């Protein structure tokens, strides 16, 4: 039996990625990283800043996301996100820009704990890509 | 009757107007294609978002304590209307259609004795509404400097709305925009976004989901995003409609200018001939009298 399932990543502007031969996806869910294999139970969760790892027969890919919602149902994984970048395409200057923005956000005094946590996460993840 | 010189000038001026409208039509046609594409590409996101929210709200255990963005404040006193129009004119009935729709809604609300607050997105709507409803407009947002509709702008509008909602500034929020059907038809729409109207749903409600973290937390995270998504959708539809409407308006204008040039040319030729005939008669009768 095949162990593949379908993934679809959409952002507001377009359908970002559609793949049919995915073996495993690791997503940075809000309460910790979560690996999804075929026949996972239906689940809805949301993401914190981190790296989505897609393992498929046609190669592995990594994506950096800042937020998003995932839904897994009937072996269809949908990821909705407003900010997503392929790690391969993420060059130094772009990464620097994002990092600067995240650091600025994290250094603000009057933000809520949750926003602060999210901004810190962004900084940490962006630094780790180097 | 106008003199030959005047006619000549008028023909030249109509011709140059025609050149402008023709160029605008071409530009609108090119932009329309891009706007239409991005409107179509943006659809999966808002559809999926809607689906997830539907599933979530079906699964929510405690309807009483559901997030206020979903269930509303329980009151129906203050209405916030977000009227989305374009920043540029010369696009036919595009802006007036939205304004007309919005105005009829406004008068309905005011007749019911409810309070009205208006946010205008796009300067044309503000121009048309501020004469009658100037005191009701609480905010005017315009994205003149951004070329295409983008999510970042939509998010800004969404945040303003949510901020006001959390401050208790209104109970019900409705957005007005033009839905793009095809190049000649755009339908003005009034869509309620707070509280969320989910009557048509209830499709596959027996599907059970696992939620992580729990439903309430996901919902309270998701609903603000949904507001921005709906605004973004409206912006995309609006920009496609604007270009479509401008294209057909400019097409009409070009055609009308063409007709006008034809008419004026005939008139010009006639009066030129009449002048020649008159001169000939004068010469002939002058020669005869000698």
Selecting from 3.40.50.300, 3.40.1380.10, 3.60.40.10, 3.30.420.590, what CATH number does the domain B35-249 have? Answer: 3.40.1380.10
Contact call for B225 and A31, based on CB within 8 A: no
Q: Which helix (H) or strand (E) holds B290?
A: none
Which residue, among B229, B127, B123, B117, has the nearest Cα to B173 in the 3D structure? B117
* Token code pair at residue B143: 């994205």
Contact call for B210 and A44, based on CB within 8 A: yes
Sequence-distant (≥ 6) Cβ neighbours of residue A114 within 8 angstroms: none
User: For the whole model, what pTM was predicted?
Assistant: 0.84
B195 Rama class: left (phi>0) / alpha (psi -120 to 50) / beta: beta
pLDDT of the residue at B11: 95
The total domain count for chain A is 2
Selecting from 3.40.50.300, 3.30.70.270, 1.10.287.80, 3.20.20.80, what CATH number does the domain B4-21+250-288 have? Answer: 1.10.287.80
* Token code pair at residue A91: 């060059």
Partners of residue B221 in chain A, C-beta under 8 Å = 46, 69
Side-chain half-sphere exposure of B281, counting CA atoms within 13 A: 6
Owning domain of residue A19: 5-86
Phi, psi (deg, nearest 5) at residue B81:
-115, 125
pLDDT of the residue at A130: 62
Residues in chain A: 130
pLDDT in tens, A33-73: 889 998 888 888 888 888 899 998 888 888 988 888 898 88
pLDDT of the residue at B20: 94
Q: Which residue has the tokens 């007709």?
A: B259
Annotated catalytic residue within B14, B82, B91, B250: B91
d(CA B188, CA B204): 30
Residue of B nearest to A40 (CA): B210
Q: Which residue has the tokens 């937390």?
A: B217
pLDDT band at A97 (very low <50, low <70, confident <90, very high): confident
Partners of residue B229 in chain A, C-beta under 8 Å = 12
Active site residue B173: no
Sign, CA torsion B101/B106/B107/B112 = positive
Contact call for B155 and A41, based on CB within 8 A: no
The dihedral over CA atoms of B48, B54, B57, B58, expressed in degrees to the nearest 10, equals: -130
Chain A residues contacting B via beta carbons under 8 Å: 8, 10-15, 29-31, 34, 41-46, 67, 69, 71, 73, 78, 80, 82
Regarding whether A109 and A48 lie in a shared domain, the answer is no
Q: Which helix (H) or strand (E) holds B229?
A: helix B215-288
pLDDT of the residue at B65: 66
Regarding whether A60 and A33 lie in a shared domain, the answer is yes
d(CA B12, CA B6): 10
Regarding whether A113 and A66 lie in a shared domain, the answer is no
Phi, psi (deg, nearest 5) at residue B42:
-80, -15
Chain mean position to CA B268: 41
Sign, CA torsion B197/B218/B62/B54 = positive
| Domain definitions of chain B by residue range | 4-21+250-288, 35-249
Span A105-126, mean pLDDT? 78
In total, the C-beta contacts within 8 angstroms joining chain A to chain B are: 75
Residue of A nearest to B41 (CA): A14
Predicted confidence pLDDT, tens digits, chain B (290 residues): 578 899 999 999 999 999 999 999 999 999 999 998 888 888 888 888 888 887 777 766 666 667 777 777 778 889 999 999 998 888 888 999 999 999 999 999 999 989 999 999 988 888 889 888 888 888 888 888 777 778 888 888 998 998 898 888 888 899 999 998 888 888 998 988 888 766 555 555 556 778 877 777 788 888 888 888 889 989 999 999 999 999 999 999 999 999 999 999 999 999 999 999 999 999 999 999 98
Residue of A nearest to B50 (CA): A80
pLDDT band at A85 (very low <50, low <70, confident <90, very high): confident
Q: What ipTM goes with this model? A: 0.78
d(CA A36, CA A40): 6
Chain mean position to CA B199: 26
Partners of residue A81 in chain B, C-beta under 8 Å = none
Contact call for B212 and A14, based on CB within 8 A: no
For residue A13, the tally of other CB atoms under 10 A from its CB is 17
Pairing of strands B115-121, B137-141: parallel
For residue B185, the tally of other CB atoms under 10 A from its CB is 13
């Amino acid at each position: 039996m095949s162990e593949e399932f379908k993934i679809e990543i959409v952002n507001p502007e377009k359908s970002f990625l559609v793949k049919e031969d995915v073996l495993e996806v690791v997503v940075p869910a809000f309460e910790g990283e979560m690996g999804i294999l075929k026949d996972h139970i239906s689940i809805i969760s949301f993401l914190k800043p981190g790296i989505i790892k897609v393992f498929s027969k046609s190669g592995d890919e990594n994506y950096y996301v800042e937020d998003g919602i995932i839904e897994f149902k009937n072996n269809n994984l949908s990821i909705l996100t407003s900010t997503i970048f392929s790690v391969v395409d993420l060059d130094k200057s772009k990464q620097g820009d994002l990092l600067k923005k995240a650091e600025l956000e994290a250094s603000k005094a009057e933000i809520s704990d949750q926003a602060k946590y999210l901004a810190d996460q962004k900084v940490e993840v962006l630094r780790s890509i180097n | 009757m106008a003199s030959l010189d005047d006619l000549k000038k008028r023909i030249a001026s109509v011709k140059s107007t025609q050149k402008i409208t023709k160029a605008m039509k071409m530009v609108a046609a090119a932009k329309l294609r891009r706007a239409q594409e991005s409107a179509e590409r943006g659809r999966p996101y808002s559809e999926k978002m809607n689906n997830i929210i539907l599933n979530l709200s079906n699964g929510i255990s405690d309807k009483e304590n559901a997030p206020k963005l979903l269930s509303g404040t329980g009151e129906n006193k203050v209405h916030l209307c977000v009227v989305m129009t374009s920043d540029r004119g010369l696009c036919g009935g595009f802006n007036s259609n939205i304004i007309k729709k919005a105005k009829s809604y406004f008068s309905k609300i005011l007749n019911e004795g409810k309070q009205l607050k208006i946010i205008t997105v796009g300067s044309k709507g503000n121009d048309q509404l501020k004469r009658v409803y100037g005191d009701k407009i609480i905010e005017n947002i315009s994205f003149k400097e951004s070329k295409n509709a983008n999510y970042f702008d939509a998010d800004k509008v969404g945040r303003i709305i949510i901020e006001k909602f959390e401050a208790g500034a209104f109970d019900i929020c409705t957005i007005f925009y033009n839905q793009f059907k095809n190049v000649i038809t755009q339908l003005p729409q009034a869509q309620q976004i707070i509280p969320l109207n989910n009557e048509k749903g209830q499709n596959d409600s027996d599907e059970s989901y696992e939620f992580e973290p729990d439903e309430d937390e996901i919902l309270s995270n998701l609903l603000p995003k949904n507001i921005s998504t709906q605004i973004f959708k409206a912006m995309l539809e609006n920009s496609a409609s604007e270009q479509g409407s401008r294209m057909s308006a400019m097409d009409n204008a070009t055609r009308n200018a063409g007709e006008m040039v034809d008419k004026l040319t005939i008139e010009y030729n006639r009066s030129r001939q009449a002048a020649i005939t008159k001169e000939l008669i004068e010469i002939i009768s002058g020669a005869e009298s000698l």
